[in-house]
Chains A and B, each alone.
Chain A
Amino acid sequence: MDEKARDLFDAFVAGNVGRRELIRRAAALGIGAAAAGTFLNAAQSRALAADYNWKAHQGTALKLLLNKHPYADAMIADIESFKSLTGMSVTWDIFPEDVYFDKVTAALSSHSTEYDAFMTGAYQTWQYGPAGWLVDLNEYLRNGARTAPNYDWEGVLEGLRASTAWSGKPGDALGGAGAKQWCVPWGFELNNISYNQTIFDKVGVKVPKNLPEMLEIAAKITRDAGGPYGIGVRGSRSWATIHPGFLSGYTNYGGHDFVMQGGKLKAAMNSPQSKAFTKLWVEMIQQSGPKNWATYTWYQVGTDLGAGASGMIYDADILGYFMDGGDNKERGHLAYAAFAANPEATAPTANVWIWSLAMSNFSRKKDAAWDFIQWATGTDHLLYGARKQDMVNPVRTKVWEDPEFKEKIGKYPGYLDEYTETAPKAKIYFTPQPLFFNLTTDWAAALQQMVAKQIPVDEGLDKLAESINRQLKSAGLG
């Protein structure tokens, strides 16, 4: 039976047998679900190994630095596939996000050889890359002998590939000429609306189409829903307050963080477009945001939605997805929608957060680490993660087109449509520069002062731009 099963699963992986046919024939062979998983993994490993020497680093021990996240959980659940494919062993340290990037900074700045590959966001690579801590992965991606022929780099969403590549020159376009590929996209987040259908039905409102409508609907929920507040957005004194809904809407209003003048960066947070958007944003939080908004991070925004304490959030779509499961009170009541903040915009401009994998420049096993990265970001593992785990949102178009994944994600109302509508223009809308964290944290602090009515919006943004220009000049960037 083993040989027949092996042939059957090999045929499936090669695309010669469909999913229904596989299930029917596997059942006829008496293969249960658990055994089918094992056969499938083994078949995928054989298919991968057919045209690339995955065993080149057999016996090598890799160590990873990971953030506690469902993407990491999905990878760990599938790690045996990698081990059997390569003959390598893998260990990892895993930290909660609150301390994760401190750990990465400490490991890389001390030139530690402990970790070979690690999880990162694209923004972090604007510090790590120019500091010389990362390997430019173009060395591998552009070398046919070092990358599996079926890796399909072009199958990764174009905006994400570009967003994770930068020349290192402040102000240069992401993915532009001379860009170095500092990391490889793994999973990403689109910033759109996740909302509570029950609350929306109760107060008789529909999903907002733009920011002025969002203000009205959020106010109505706060007024009429009998407890929940209208809109959840982040507000802590951190760069993370700026990058999700705020920057997505800001960009949709035509706002930019910087403009280039004479080859130097100049703050543009006080442009007319920026002021128009920020006034509405601040008013929305004052009227219908959480009372302690200034302490709100990803966790508070999500848990309030999941607990029915907020009517909607303008944040990562996967945050809504995670709140739509487990023991959350509002499980099964959430839905998703694309959002273009500007009433005159034709499409959403979602700024993206991209969980990616990068290689430490201090690793002594770089080639082996690359094998891990290409396996973890390859189609087979992402398909596994998307089908069997919570690997939303996968970075490969092929995975989004997978019928099994589509069927799974289709149970979340509006999720696929939201992706389809937003993905074409989804990318990082920040201007890459090494002071990213200083300046966006200052931006968040200024927003806090405006929401607390310590300073009017116009004056607050003028002061912010002035302070940022001073910092840019002092760093030789402005």
Chain B
Amino acid sequence: MSDIAHPATSAARVHAAGPRAARLLPYLLSLPALLVCIGILVPFGTAAWYSLQRYNLAMPFMRGFVGFDTYLDFLGDPDFWNTVEVSAIYTAATVILELLLGLAIALLLRERSPLNNAISVALLLPLMTAPAIAALMWKLMTNPGFGVLSWLVSRFGLADFKWASDPHTAMLTVVLVDIWVYTPFIMILLLAGLRSLPTQPFEAARLDGVPARFVFFRITLPMLMPYIVTATLFRLLDSIQQFDIVYAMTQGGPGDSLMVFQVRAYLEFFQYTNVGRSAALMMILWALTYALSNVFVKQWLRLRERTHGAY
């Protein structure tokens, strides 16, 4: 019999090794976590430091500490505010539509049956497609020469529908791609939530003859809310950091119509070699996602308390 897993024996050994070892033990146990933390924080700290510098790789002679000047410059830069607006519209549109669709599909598949189980698995397939590949597939499907979707809309009198090539319809196109890829993610989370809800309230409502709309809005939705908040949080954080679909479809164009944060930051670094501006954009994006996730986590905790009672 080994005593490796016996904490009392291990502690006794450390104690026997002397008080110094006993004092060091907690620090030693924390070391792996500390190393991981440093590994994460070093790049973050470096980016924060770069964001306070005028730092363009192509103009090394201009490099210098400028404090918050880059951030202040953004305030008066119409291109930056366009990026904020485009990112906000994209995030709101994708999250709201995916939530509504995901919830609707989850409700349809709520009852366990071989068919519903098979459909829920099949619906997950788009989620397994890399978003950049999905964007390229949609690029082909929306090609005006041979794309199946272009052909389809032409049947409804929209022969010249330009999809991602027109600033007026580009947002709609990339939102559709995002919905195609990520609605299954919401659907599967909400379906798991729906199937785990206690059955008693629903049985009682049925016995009392409560109308279906009342059951949905007063029982199902409140009980499902922690799952909805969780799904929303994940999608929100992902959508606001959107890169691959937009870049693969249009590189942020036409014009600046799809210039979301990540695409602008990517262009600033990899094409314009402007490290300072790119880092500042990423820090702003980090602050936004941090604030949003804080709000949502607090909301989630509040809902959990309401659902399960305070601990």
Contacts and interface: CB of A to CB of B under 8 A. Distances in A.
B60 A132 contact: yes
A14 interface: no
Contacts of B252: 237
Interface string A113-134: 0000000000000111011100
Contacts of B274: 438
Interface in A443-467: 444-446, 448-449, 451-452, 454, 467
B255 A448 contact: yes
Interface in A426-455: 434-435, 437-438, 441, 444-446, 448-449, 451-452, 454
A292 B163 contact: yes
B38 interface: no
- Residue of B163, B250, B255, B267 contacting most chain A CB atoms (<10 Å): B255
Contact of A446 (B56, B58, B255, B267): B255
Nearest to A133: B57
Contact of A441 (B144, B167, B271): B271
B145 interface: yes
B253 interface: yes
B253 A448 contact: yes
Contact of B270 (A105, A238, A435, A448): A105
A475 interface: yes
A468 to B, nearest CB: 12
A118 B27 CA distance: 48
A435 B250 contact: no
A295 interface: yes
Contacts of B166: 294, 452
B53 to A, nearest CB: 14
A165 B272 CA distance: 20
Contacts of B249: 295
Q: How large is the interface on A (under 10, 10 to 19, 20 to 34, 35 or more residues)?
A: 35 or more
A310 B10 CA distance: 78
B60 A452 contact: no
Contacts of A441: 267, 271-272
Max chain B Cβ within 10 angstroms of own Cβ: one of A131, A236, A293, A294: A294
A109 interface: yes
Nearest to B248: A98
B139 interface: yes
B272 A438 contact: yes
A292 B164 contact: yes
B73 interface: yes
A445 B253 contact: yes
Contacts of B253: 236-237, 294, 444-445, 448
Contacts of A292: 142-144, 162-165
A74 interface: no
A294 B256 contact: no
Secondary structure of the A contact surface, majority rule:
helix
Majority DSSP secondary structure for residues of B touching A: loop
Contact of A474 (B58, B73, B79, B164): B73
Interface string B255-283: 11000000000010011111000000000
Contacts of B60: 130-132
A291 B255 contact: no
Contact of A475 (B56, B79, B139, B168): B56
A207 interface: no
Interface in A221-269: 236-239
B272 A435 contact: yes
B160 A291 contact: yes
B58 A445 contact: no
Interface string B149-186: 00000000000101111111000000000000000000
A449 B273 contact: no
A102 interface: yes
Contacts of A64: none
B55 to A, nearest CB: 11
Nearest to A474: B73
A177 B256 CA distance: 39
A32 interface: no
Contact of B250 (A101, A237, A239): A237
A15 interface: no
A326 interface: no
A130 B58 contact: yes
B174 to A, nearest CB: 12
B4 interface: no
A446 to B, nearest CB: 7
A239 B274 CA distance: 16
Contacts of B144: 290-292
A474 B267 CA distance: 18
Given A130-B58, A454-B167, A294 B267 contact: no
A309 interface: yes
B251 interface: yes
B57 A127 contact: yes
Interface in A287-308: 290-295
Given A109-B273, A292-B163, A437-B272, A449 B255 contact: yes
A96 interface: no
B58 to A, nearest CB: 4
A144 interface: no
A111 B76 CA distance: 35
A269 to B, nearest CB: 15
Contacts of B193: none
Interface string B267-303: 1001111100000000000000000000000000000
6 contacts: A101-B271, A109-B57, A291-B144, A445-B255, A449-B167, A452-B168
Given A130-B60, A449-B254, 16 more contacts: A102-B270, A105-B270, A132-B60, A237-B253, A238-B251, A290-B144, A291-B162, A292-B162, A434-B58, A434-B59, A438-B272, A448-B253, A449-B255, A452-B166, A452-B255, A467-B79
